Chain A
Amino acid sequence: AQRVTQPEKLLSVFKGAPVELKCNYSYSGSPELFWYVQYSRQRLQLLLRHISRESIKGFTADLNKGETSFHLKKPFAQEEDSAMYYCALSGGSGTYKYIFGTGTRLKVLA
Protein backbone atom coordinates (compact mmCIF):
# COMPACT_ATOMS: atom_id res chain seq x y z
CA ALA A 1 0.00 0.00 0.00
CA GLN A 2 1.14 3.53 -0.70
CA ARG A 3 1.56 5.38 2.53
CA VAL A 4 3.40 8.24 4.18
CA THR A 5 3.97 7.94 7.91
CA GLN A 6 4.93 10.74 10.23
CA PRO A 7 5.18 9.06 13.63
CA GLU A 8 5.27 12.21 15.75
CA LYS A 9 2.19 14.39 16.10
CA LEU A 10 4.07 16.94 18.18
CA LEU A 11 7.76 17.69 18.53
CA SER A 12 8.98 20.27 21.03
CA VAL A 13 12.57 21.48 21.04
CA PHE A 14 14.41 24.40 22.55
CA LYS A 15 15.70 27.24 20.43
CA GLY A 16 19.16 26.39 19.13
CA ALA A 17 18.68 22.64 19.47
CA PRO A 18 18.80 20.30 16.46
CA VAL A 19 15.53 19.23 14.88
CA GLU A 20 14.63 16.04 13.05
CA LEU A 21 11.11 15.46 11.76
CA LYS A 22 10.63 11.87 10.71
CA CYS A 23 8.97 10.68 7.54
CA ASN A 24 8.77 7.11 6.28
CA TYR A 25 7.04 6.01 3.13
CA SER A 26 5.77 2.93 1.39
CA TYR A 27 5.65 3.02 -2.40
CA SER A 28 6.25 0.39 -5.02
CA GLY A 29 7.91 2.60 -7.63
CA SER A 30 10.33 5.53 -7.53
CA PRO A 31 8.52 8.32 -5.74
CA GLU A 32 9.22 11.99 -5.49
CA LEU A 33 9.28 13.22 -1.89
CA PHE A 34 8.37 16.66 -0.58
CA TRP A 35 8.12 18.57 2.65
CA TYR A 36 5.39 21.20 3.07
CA VAL A 37 5.12 23.70 5.89
CA GLN A 38 2.06 25.45 7.26
CA TYR A 39 2.58 28.41 9.58
CA SER A 40 -0.25 29.33 11.91
CA ARG A 41 -3.46 29.90 9.97
CA GLN A 42 -1.63 30.20 6.65
CA ARG A 43 -1.67 28.18 3.49
CA LEU A 44 0.62 25.22 2.99
CA GLN A 45 3.87 26.07 1.26
CA LEU A 46 6.35 23.82 -0.45
CA LEU A 47 9.50 23.68 1.64
CA LEU A 48 11.72 21.07 0.01
CA ARG A 49 11.80 18.63 -2.89
CA HIS A 50 14.18 15.72 -2.70
CA ILE A 51 15.19 16.00 -6.34
CA SER A 52 16.45 19.55 -5.78
CA ARG A 53 18.84 18.60 -2.97
CA GLU A 54 18.42 22.12 -1.67
CA SER A 55 18.54 23.72 1.74
CA ILE A 56 15.68 26.05 2.52
CA LYS A 57 15.58 28.12 5.71
CA GLY A 58 18.37 25.90 7.02
CA PHE A 59 16.34 22.70 6.53
CA THR A 60 17.61 19.72 4.58
CA ALA A 61 16.16 16.32 3.81
CA ASP A 62 17.85 13.29 2.33
CA LEU A 63 16.00 10.50 0.62
CA ASN A 64 17.12 7.14 2.00
CA LYS A 65 15.72 4.51 -0.33
CA GLY A 66 17.05 1.64 1.76
CA GLU A 67 15.20 2.81 4.84
CA THR A 68 12.37 4.41 2.79
CA SER A 69 12.75 7.58 4.78
CA PHE A 70 12.87 11.29 4.06
CA HIS A 71 13.56 12.92 7.41
CA LEU A 72 13.65 16.71 7.68
CA LYS A 73 16.58 18.15 9.62
CA LYS A 74 17.83 21.48 10.86
CA PRO A 75 20.94 21.87 13.04
CA PHE A 76 19.72 24.86 15.07
CA ALA A 77 16.00 25.45 15.53
CA GLN A 78 14.56 28.97 15.55
CA GLU A 79 11.31 30.13 17.11
CA GLU A 80 9.99 31.07 13.67
CA ASP A 81 10.29 27.42 12.64
CA SER A 82 7.26 26.62 14.79
CA ALA A 83 4.69 25.29 12.34
CA MET A 84 2.96 22.21 11.03
CA TYR A 85 5.09 20.10 8.70
CA TYR A 86 3.74 17.62 6.21
CA CYS A 87 5.69 15.01 4.30
CA ALA A 88 4.23 14.14 0.89
CA LEU A 89 4.88 11.66 -1.87
CA SER A 90 4.07 11.65 -5.56
CA GLY A 91 4.67 9.03 -8.17
CA GLY A 92 6.94 11.39 -10.08
CA SER A 93 6.85 12.59 -13.64
CA GLY A 94 3.45 12.04 -15.24
CA THR A 95 1.73 11.45 -11.89
CA TYR A 96 -0.35 14.18 -10.33
CA LYS A 97 -1.71 12.56 -7.21
CA TYR A 98 0.03 13.15 -3.94
CA ILE A 99 -0.13 11.25 -0.68
CA PHE A 100 0.31 13.31 2.48
CA GLY A 101 1.34 12.23 5.92
CA THR A 102 -0.68 13.24 8.95
CA GLY A 103 1.72 16.01 9.85
CA THR A 104 4.01 16.90 12.74
CA ARG A 105 3.58 20.06 14.75
CA LEU A 106 6.95 21.56 15.63
CA LYS A 107 7.13 23.85 18.64
CA VAL A 108 10.36 25.69 19.22
CA LEU A 109 10.59 26.89 22.79
CA ALA A 110 12.48 30.00 23.83
Chain B
Amino acid sequence: NAGVTQTPKFQVLKTGQSMTLQCAQDMNHEYMSWYRQDPGMGLRLIHYSVGAGITDQGEVPNGYNVSRSTTEDFPLRLLSAAPSQTSVYFCASSSPRGDRGRDGYTFGSGTRLTVV
Protein backbone atom coordinates (compact mmCIF):
# COMPACT_ATOMS: atom_id res chain seq x y z
CA ASN B 1 0.00 0.00 0.00
CA ALA B 2 1.87 3.04 -1.29
CA GLY B 3 -0.48 5.70 0.12
CA VAL B 4 0.03 9.05 -1.63
CA THR B 5 2.82 9.20 -4.20
CA GLN B 6 4.20 12.45 -5.55
CA THR B 7 6.63 12.92 -8.40
CA PRO B 8 9.09 14.44 -8.93
CA LYS B 9 10.72 15.03 -5.54
CA PHE B 10 12.80 17.95 -6.81
CA GLN B 11 12.45 20.23 -9.81
CA VAL B 12 14.14 23.37 -11.07
CA LEU B 13 12.30 25.43 -13.66
CA LYS B 14 13.09 28.56 -15.57
CA THR B 15 10.65 31.44 -15.42
CA GLY B 16 7.91 30.92 -17.98
CA GLN B 17 8.26 27.16 -18.24
CA SER B 18 5.32 24.90 -17.58
CA MET B 19 5.25 21.56 -15.81
CA THR B 20 2.97 19.08 -14.09
CA LEU B 21 3.38 17.76 -10.57
CA GLN B 22 1.99 14.27 -10.29
CA CYS B 23 -0.02 12.88 -7.39
CA ALA B 24 -1.52 9.43 -7.10
CA GLN B 25 -3.22 7.62 -4.23
CA ASP B 26 -4.24 4.00 -3.91
CA MET B 27 -6.60 4.25 -0.94
CA ASN B 28 -9.80 4.98 -2.88
CA HIS B 29 -10.00 8.40 -1.23
CA GLU B 30 -12.57 10.73 -2.73
CA TYR B 31 -10.95 13.91 -1.49
CA MET B 32 -7.60 15.11 -2.79
CA SER B 33 -5.91 18.44 -2.42
CA TRP B 34 -2.76 20.38 -3.19
CA TYR B 35 -1.00 22.60 -0.67
CA ARG B 36 2.05 24.76 -0.86
CA GLN B 37 4.28 25.14 2.16
CA ASP B 38 6.22 28.35 2.63
CA PRO B 39 8.26 29.48 5.66
CA GLY B 40 6.14 31.45 8.10
CA MET B 41 2.96 30.88 6.11
CA GLY B 42 2.18 27.29 6.92
CA LEU B 43 0.17 25.25 4.46
CA ARG B 44 -2.00 27.04 1.94
CA LEU B 45 -4.61 25.25 -0.11
CA ILE B 46 -4.18 25.63 -3.87
CA HIS B 47 -6.90 23.41 -5.36
CA TYR B 48 -8.96 20.49 -4.17
CA SER B 49 -11.25 17.81 -5.52
CA VAL B 50 -14.10 15.95 -3.85
CA GLY B 51 -14.27 13.28 -6.54
CA ALA B 52 -13.51 12.40 -10.13
CA GLY B 53 -14.56 15.21 -12.45
CA ILE B 54 -15.00 17.74 -9.62
CA THR B 55 -12.41 20.35 -8.71
CA ASP B 56 -12.48 23.69 -6.95
CA GLN B 57 -10.17 26.50 -6.00
CA GLY B 58 -8.54 26.91 -2.66
CA GLU B 59 -6.86 29.89 -1.07
CA VAL B 60 -4.07 30.48 -3.63
CA PRO B 61 -5.16 29.07 -7.01
CA ASN B 62 -3.67 31.64 -9.38
CA GLY B 63 -1.08 30.22 -11.75
CA TYR B 64 -2.15 26.62 -11.19
CA ASN B 65 -4.57 24.26 -12.89
CA VAL B 66 -5.85 20.85 -11.83
CA SER B 67 -7.96 18.06 -13.24
CA ARG B 68 -9.39 14.87 -11.75
CA SER B 69 -10.13 12.36 -14.47
CA THR B 70 -9.77 9.36 -12.15
CA THR B 71 -10.18 8.78 -8.42
CA GLU B 72 -6.49 7.91 -8.12
CA ASP B 73 -4.77 10.83 -9.85
CA PHE B 74 -4.78 14.57 -9.18
CA PRO B 75 -2.06 16.36 -11.17
CA LEU B 76 -1.16 20.01 -10.56
CA ARG B 77 -0.12 22.06 -13.57
CA LEU B 78 1.97 25.19 -13.43
CA LEU B 79 1.05 27.16 -16.51
CA SER B 80 3.93 29.65 -16.66
CA ALA B 81 6.30 29.30 -13.73
CA ALA B 82 7.24 32.37 -11.71
CA PRO B 83 9.82 32.76 -8.92
CA SER B 84 6.93 33.32 -6.48
CA GLN B 85 5.96 29.70 -7.07
CA THR B 86 9.18 28.47 -5.52
CA SER B 87 7.87 26.33 -2.70
CA VAL B 88 7.35 22.83 -1.39
CA TYR B 89 4.17 21.29 -2.75
CA PHE B 90 2.22 18.63 -0.90
CA CYS B 91 -0.59 16.49 -2.18
CA ALA B 92 -3.01 15.03 0.37
CA SER B 93 -6.03 12.76 0.36
CA SER B 94 -8.63 11.78 2.91
CA SER B 95 -11.08 9.04 3.72
CA PRO B 96 -14.22 8.98 1.61
CA ARG B 97 -16.96 7.83 3.94
CA GLY B 98 -17.97 7.50 7.53
CA ASP B 99 -15.79 9.95 9.42
CA ARG B 100 -15.42 12.45 6.63
CA GLY B 101 -13.25 15.25 7.84
CA ARG B 102 -12.44 13.35 11.00
CA ASP B 103 -9.79 10.88 9.90
CA GLY B 104 -7.29 13.44 8.84
CA TYR B 105 -5.20 13.65 5.72
CA THR B 106 -2.63 11.31 4.25
CA PHE B 107 0.14 13.40 2.75
CA GLY B 108 2.59 12.73 -0.03
CA SER B 109 6.31 13.25 0.51
CA GLY B 110 6.33 16.58 -1.27
CA THR B 111 7.88 18.19 -4.33
CA ARG B 112 10.51 20.85 -3.79
CA LEU B 113 10.20 23.30 -6.69
CA THR B 114 12.62 26.10 -7.48
CA VAL B 115 11.83 28.64 -10.18
CA VAL B 116 14.81 30.67 -11.36
State the CA gap A43–B92 with chains docked (Å).
Answer: 10
Distance, CA A100 to CA B41, complexed state (A): 10
Q: Cβ of B50 and Cβ of A102 under 8 Å apart?
A: no
User: How many A residues touch B, CB cutoff 8 Å?
Assistant: 26
Assess A91 versus B102: contact at CB under 8 Å? Given A9-B40, A97-B48.
Answer: no
Residue A28 CB within 8 A of the other chain: no
* Residues 69 to 110 of chain A near chain B (Cβ within 8 Å): 86, 90-98, 100-103
B31 CB–A CB distance under 8 Å? yes
- A12-59 interface with B by 8 A CB criterion: 32, 34, 36, 42-46, 49, 51
Would A43 and B50 count as touching, CB distance under 8 A? no
Interface residues of B in 5-64 (CB under 8 A from A): 31, 33, 35, 40-45, 48, 50, 58
Q: Is the CB of B107 within 8 A of A96?
A: no
Evaluate contact between B102 and A90: CB separation under 8 angstroms: yes
- Within 8 Å by CB of A51, from B35, B42, B45, B102, lies B102
Given A9-B40, A102-B42, do A90 and B108 touch, yes or no (CB 8 Å)?
no
Decide: B109 and A94 in contact? CB cutoff 8 A: no
Residues of B contacting A97 in the complex (Cβ-Cβ under 8 angstroms): 45, 48, 58
Complex alpha-carbon distance, A97 and B100, angstroms: 10
Contact of A43 among B40, B99, B100, B107 (CB under 8 A): B107
Residues of B within 8 A of A (CB): 31, 33, 35, 40-45, 48, 50, 58, 90, 92, 94, 99-110
Q: Which of A's residues lie within 8 Å of B, judged by CB? A: 6, 9, 32, 34, 36, 42-46, 49, 51, 86, 90-98, 100-103
